[in-house]
Amino acid sequence: MSLDLFPETPAVTERKEPLAPGAMVLRAFARSGERTLIEALESVIRRSPFRCMTTPGGYRMSVAMTNCGDAGWVTDPSGYRYDALDPASAERWPAMPQVFRELAAHAAAEAGFPAFVPDACLMSRYEPGARLSLHQDKDEQDLESPIVSVSLGLPAVFLFGGQRRAERPRRVPLIHGDVVVWGGPARLRFHGVQPLKPGHHPMLGVCRINLSFRKVR
C-alpha cells in the first residue's frame, strides 16, 4: 500500500487471503496508518457517540453503533434504513474523514474493485460477549459496489457464509488492522461475527471497533 497517510512500515507484513470469488482478506492492511485512523475515529465519535440501537422486533443490539458520511444506517421499531440525519441529535452525521475514504478506496482496489468511492461508514463497537448474527447487507441502493470492513482492537472471528442463511459459514480469525472486502458475486453472502472474547488491546482497550464502508446510493 502506498499512501501518504499510510506510509510503509517494515515491521508490518501484508498479505492477501482469498475467501471466495469476489471476497478477500487483506492482512494488516490498516496497520501502518493505525494512529491516524484511530485519531479520526475518535473525532467522529466525539460528535456522534456509539449507541446500542433497537431492531424493528424490539431487540436491543449488543453491538454499539454510529456512522459518518453522507448517510448512516439506523434501526428502530419503524425498520432498517439509511438516513442523512443522526436520530440522536437530529443533525447530519459527521463527515467521513479523508483517511477513512483513502483507506477504503485503496483496500477495495487491492481486492479488485478499483472504482469504489464510499459514501457511508458504519462504525461498530464490540465489547466482550457482543456478536452479530448472520445477515446480508442489502439496505443499500447500490448492490454493485463492495463492502470494505476494517477490524481494529481485539481479535474476532468473522463468519463468512453463502447466499443462503442455512449454508455453514467459514470462520475467519481477524486481528487489529485486517481488512475484509467482498463484492461482485460475493456481495450478498451472509456474514456475521462470533461473540467477542475478553481481552485488552494496547490502543483500544477492551473492545473491537469495526469500520464498514459502503456505497449506499
The model's pLDDT over 109-168, given as tens digits with 9 standing for 90+, comes to 999 999 999 999 999 999 999 999 999 999 999 999 999 999 999 999 999 999 999 999
CB 67 within 8 A of CB 48: yes
Give the pTM. 0.93
Question: How many residues in the chain?
Answer: 217
Around Cβ 50, how many Cβ atoms within 10 Å? Answer: 14
DSSP assignment letter at 21: T
Q: What is the pLDDT of residue 37?
A: 97
Q: What is the pLDDT of residue 12?
A: 56
Question: Per the CATH hierarchy, to which homologous superfamily does domain 15-214 belong?
Answer: Alpha-ketoglutarate-dependent dioxygenase AlkB-like (2.60.120.590)
Residue type, 196: L
Around Cβ 95, how many Cβ atoms within 10 Å? Answer: 14
Strands (E), 48-206: 64-69, 72-76, 79-83, 85-86, 91-92, 120-126, 132-135, 147-153, 156-160, 170-174, 179-182, 191-193
**Grid cell locating 162:** 453463502
Each of the 217 residues of the chain gets a pLDDT tens digit; together they read 333 343 333 345 779 999 999 999 999 999 999 999 999 999 999 999 999 999 999 999 999 999 999 999 999 988 999 999 999 999 999 999 999 999 999 999 999 999 999 999 999 999 999 999 999 999 999 999 999 999 999 999 999 999 999 999 999 999 999 999 999 999 999 999 999 999 999 999 999 999 999 999 9
Residue with cell 452525521: 93
Residue type, 112: G
CB 39 within 8 A of CB 203: no
| Cβ partners under 8 Å of residue 155, min gap 6 | 173, 174, 175, 176, 197, 199, 208
Q: What is the pLDDT of residue 6?
A: 38
**What are the strands of the beta sheet with 170-174, ordered from one edge?**
132-135, 191-193, 156-160, 170-174
Q: Break the chain into its structural domains and give their ranges.
A: 15-214
| Cβ partners under 8 Å of residue 154, min gap 6 | 126, 176, 196, 197, 199, 200, 201, 204, 206, 207, 208
Q: What is the pLDDT of residue 5?
A: 41
